[in-house]
A and B are shown apart, each in its own frame.
Chain A
Amino acid sequence: MFTETPIDRRKQLTERVVRIFLLVVTSVMIIPLLLIIGYLLYKAIPVLSFEFLFSNPRDNMRAGGIWAPFLGTIYLVVVSLLVSAPIGVFAAVYLNEYARESWFTRVTNLAVVNLAGVPSIVHALFGVGAFVLFAGLGESILAASLTLAIMTLPVIIASTTEALKAVPMSFREACWNLGATRWQTIRRIVIPNSISGILTGVILQVSRAAGETAPIMFTGAVFYKTIAEGNLFAYNITEQCMALSLHLFTISTQVPDVTEGTPHGTAIVLVGSVLLVNAAAIVLRVYLRTRKKW
């Protein structure tokens, strides 16, 4: 009764073919990742050294290291984080803990989605119009960081919302029953129980902000600037700075006769930092999942 008919056999064959085909399609995506890292590393090995990281670009950016752009990127990321982390986390708290289901919440959620979808170059135009010109900040680290902050806000909102949603409703109810107010519940129960998830979002914001080029090009990042080597406080946030991403663009398209390997070195430092930060977020998330008690 249950012997295999030709139809069954064909079904099995299709099944196997589809499975292998899809496995190949999925695995293909690992190739570009490995290829990019491998290629950049291979080309960058000759120039990579501590000196490369801690010395300024020389000879009109044809040689030398990446200290000024590297420090500039750190400044941009830190300042943008200081702005977007509180706003993003509280926005998510509002959406998840305060707002009721209504047309207004829908509009707010739609705004978050659309903010995430605005092209980076339009953020740049906004930064120029709002921060550089209207607010009178001029082209400065501050203007560029604010632009980056608004651009990366949806990242923090989305992952914080996710983290807050994972806290069981019964936790909140128990706390309210003890007479706690809404804010007390959020501060003592909801946020401590979702802090790792919130941190993951913040970390992802860092990696996103570090890699962006278009939004900072006209708001505060400059092609070339010399700063004191080894001094962590060499930049002033009301002035312009160099940035790794823009530096990579500049030396790979605008500057002729760059020392072989320097652009690759810059790229690998940029990719390396971003991937390292992302890996940290992944590790944190995995750790969080194993520790979760509910």
Chain B
Amino acid sequence: MNILRKKSKANLPFSETVIELFIRLCGISSIIFVFGIFFFVFREGAGFLFNGLNLTEFLTSVEWQPTSLNNKRYGAFALIVGTFSVTALAMCIAVPFGLGAAIFVSEFCSPKLRETFKIVIELLAAIPSVVWGFIGLTLMNQLIIQVFNAPIGLTMLNGGIMLALMSVPIIVSIAEDALKAVPDSYREAAEALGATRWQVIYRVLLPAAKNGLLAAVLLGAARSIGETMAVLMATGHSVNIPSGPLSWIRTLTATIAAELGEVARGDEHYQVLFIIGILLFTITFVVNLIADLVIKGIRQE
């Protein structure tokens, strides 16, 4: 291939050189955009981040009073706790279902049933987040009020269930890929020793695919952390350190969505929202990076 490349370069027509340049530019566009996102979000928030914002207070205080007239407070701790608690709850629901479904689809299913399940999962993944939020606001709200006898159903539990339903498809598809990547010879060797299907899965496949499964869970969590509309509509949207699944919370993402429309550009409050954006970007970037390293780790083995 390399010889071919060098030979053809010498007498390439001009139009082709232009096209190749364009293709190369498109190829690195993702890098440009990722840096661009960081740059532009940083640019809007940088002024206040380095000059004025008390970072310790931002990360540890629960007082979020950006619109107060004489006592403005930018403490995002409750928002951070809100984001992570609703994500943790969502993962508690989504991980067993997601991994269970992935094992079933990849190991127990007939090909026809597998296709059906995969289409269902794909359609589930396609439902827009605002619709999940709407379902949380109407259907799940009433359900929680009736089942738990709660005064209001817009709670962490509601948001957690919505997020779980949204992240299950990701977990299933990545976990299934991870299980598929385990060589068939492993399965055959174990079966030849007299292991049943479940013993093969439990003793051989799960240990062999554990990195991929971990990556699946991480990416599912990253999706939950970044989700905006569903949590904005379904979790009650009130700054609060949650005491249980039935308390209401507010997340980082929902705060930006709810408040960005009401601030003036260049305002401290406006800049703080962009700083929250930087925080979110960093969190998801790190989680995605870890997931990528975990996946790459398997390949090198």
Contact = CB atoms under 8 A, between A and B. Distances in A.
Interface residues of A, number: 85
B284 A118 contact: yes
Contact of A121 (B199, B253, B285): B253
Contacts of B96: 25
A181 B284 contact: no
- Interface of B, helix, strand, loop or mixed by DSSP: helix
Contacts, number: 254
B139 interface: yes
A220 interface: no
Nearest to A184: B16
B29 A91 contact: yes
A221 to B, nearest CB: 11
A120 interface: yes
Interface stretch (B48-56, B69-77, B115-123, B185-193): B115-123
B131 A90 contact: no
A123 interface: yes
Contacts of B31: 107-108, 111
A94 B280 contact: no
Contacts of B225: 119
Contacts of A157: 30
Contacts of A18: 198
28 contacts: A25-B97, A29-B117, A33-B120, A33-B123, A36-B127, A87-B26, A93-B23, A95-B27, A98-B27, A108-B30, A114-B34, A114-B289, A118-B226, A118-B281, A119-B280, A120-B129, A120-B227, A121-B253, A128-B260, A130-B36, A181-B16, A211-B131, A213-B229, A214-B253, A263-B138, A270-B128, A270-B130, A279-B123
Interface of A: 11-12, 14-15, 18-19, 21-23, 25-26, 28-30, 32-33, 35-36, 39, 86-88, 90-91, 93-95, 98-99, 107-108, 110-115, 117-126, 128-130, 133-134, 150, 153-154, 157, 176, 181-183, 207-208, 210-214, 217-218, 245-246, 248-249, 252-253, 263-264, 267, 270-271, 274-275, 278-279, 282
Interface of B: 4-5, 8, 12, 16, 19-20, 22-24, 26-31, 33-34, 36-37, 40-41, 43-44, 96-97, 100-101, 103-105, 108, 117, 119-124, 126-131, 133-135, 137-139, 165, 168, 196-199, 219, 222-223, 225-229, 233, 253, 256-257, 260-261, 265, 273-274, 277, 280-281, 284-285, 287-289, 292
